[in-house]
Chain A
Amino acid sequence: MEGNIVALGQAIGAGLACIGMGGAAIGVGNVFAAYLSGALRNPSAASSQTATLFIGMALAEALGIFSFLVALLLMFVGV
């Protein structure tokens, strides 16, 4: 099967970029795990910290979105 080297590079690059999403998954998981363990120890303080929870989630998740964006751009938009 003949192919071109650009398509090969795009596919490999997109696959590598998706590794970044794994990091974001670990990060978001950590944020929610820490929130939950804190909230179960002191449930009365939990509701006041939901805003902080979502800020932390957004900051962690943004980096995964960046890498997914790079993968999408590589695969479907082209360079």
Chain B
Amino acid sequence: MASGAEAASPFNIHPMDQFAIRPLFGGDTLNFYTPTNQTLWLGLAVLAVFALLVMGVRGRALVPSRSQSVAEIIYGFVRKMVEDVTGKDGLAYFPYIMTLFMLILMSNILGLLPYSFAPTSHIAVTGVLAMLVFLAVTIIGFAKHGIGFLKLFWVMSAPWWIRPVLAIIEVISFFVRPASHSIRLAGNMMAGHAVIKVFAGFAGALGAGAVVPIFAITAVYGLELLVSFLQAYVFAILTCVYLKDALHPGH
């Protein structure tokens, strides 16, 4: 650990401590089955999705209640996004993209509660999600098109002499996708929480006169609310874009 950097700082700010994973019921040992704060908040996110999408639409009213209309708006929004980006044949994969969107949205938003923990700020969580998308896209591509899926890397609209160069670039960009897909989400969430914590540290250092940091925290918090929705949307829509490549390879 970098004790030097912390000693050199005039403020006693540790913005990364909030991301520590701790066992829920005391103790220090972390096994793969140990319930941690990660487990708790991921479970709460799943419960929130369940509450909104299953309990919320339980009434099935013709004139929807508030929770039912929120659930219907989200459903219609994601469905239209999948249809616009991937086309009609992409709708078969709509349930998976809806699941991804709702899980990421709920864990992002629950992570904004004070003293809570954002599961999506960990690269382990988003990395698994992105890796599953990557594997699914590759498998669907080869299952649907066989060897023709490789046309994705061979840009027919380019001049013939530039195609091998483009093929190398396309292959690299294809394999970098899970990394950028996961780091984008985890990095955004981690950055936002760390910024709030840094401003909170300023407020703590200034004591009672900390008007400016508190105002900044409020503003950043509003921005974070936007970012947590936007990153869930971006994750889902990039999944759609990758899926479109698998369903319709070639340029």
Contact = CB atoms under 8 A, between A and B. Distances in A.
Interface of A: 3-4, 6-7, 10-11, 48, 51, 54-55, 57-58, 61-62, 65-66, 68-69, 72, 74-79
Interface in B1-23: 1-8, 14-16
Most chain A beta-carbon contacts within 10 A, residue among B3, B15, B184:
B184
Contacts of A10: 2, 4-5
B233 interface: yes
Interface of B: 1-8, 14-16, 81, 84-85, 180, 183-184, 187-188, 190-191, 194, 230, 233-234, 237-238, 241
A6 B6 CA distance: 12
Contacts of B230: 54
A50 B230 CA distance: 12
Contact of B187 (A4, A48, A69, A76): A69
A65 B14 contact: no
A7 B241 CA distance: 42
B188 to A, nearest CB: 6
Given A62-B184, A69-B187, A72-B16, A78 B194 contact: no
Given A51-B85, A55-B241, A69-B191, A62 B4 contact: no
Contacts, number: 76
A54 B191 contact: no
A11 B187 contact: no
Q: Which 9 A-B pairs have the closest CB atoms?
A: A78-B2, A7-B4, A65-B187, A58-B234, A62-B184, A76-B16, A4-B4, A69-B187, A7-B8
B191 A79 contact: no
Contacts of A76: 2, 5-6, 14-16, 194
B187 A55 contact: no
Nearest to A77: B16
Given A51-B81, A51-B85, A69 B183 contact: yes
Contacts of A78: 1-3, 5
B237 A51 contact: yes
A58 B238 contact: yes
Contacts of B3: 78
Given A66-B183, A78-B5, A72 B15 contact: yes
A62 B183 contact: yes
Contacts of A68: 187, 191
A62 B180 contact: yes
A54 B2 contact: no
24 contacts: A3-B4, A4-B4, A6-B4, A7-B5, A10-B2, A10-B4, A11-B5, A11-B8, A48-B84, A51-B81, A51-B85, A54-B230, A55-B241, A62-B183, A69-B187, A69-B191, A72-B191, A75-B2, A75-B5, A76-B2, A76-B15, A76-B16, A78-B1, A79-B2
B16 A55 contact: no
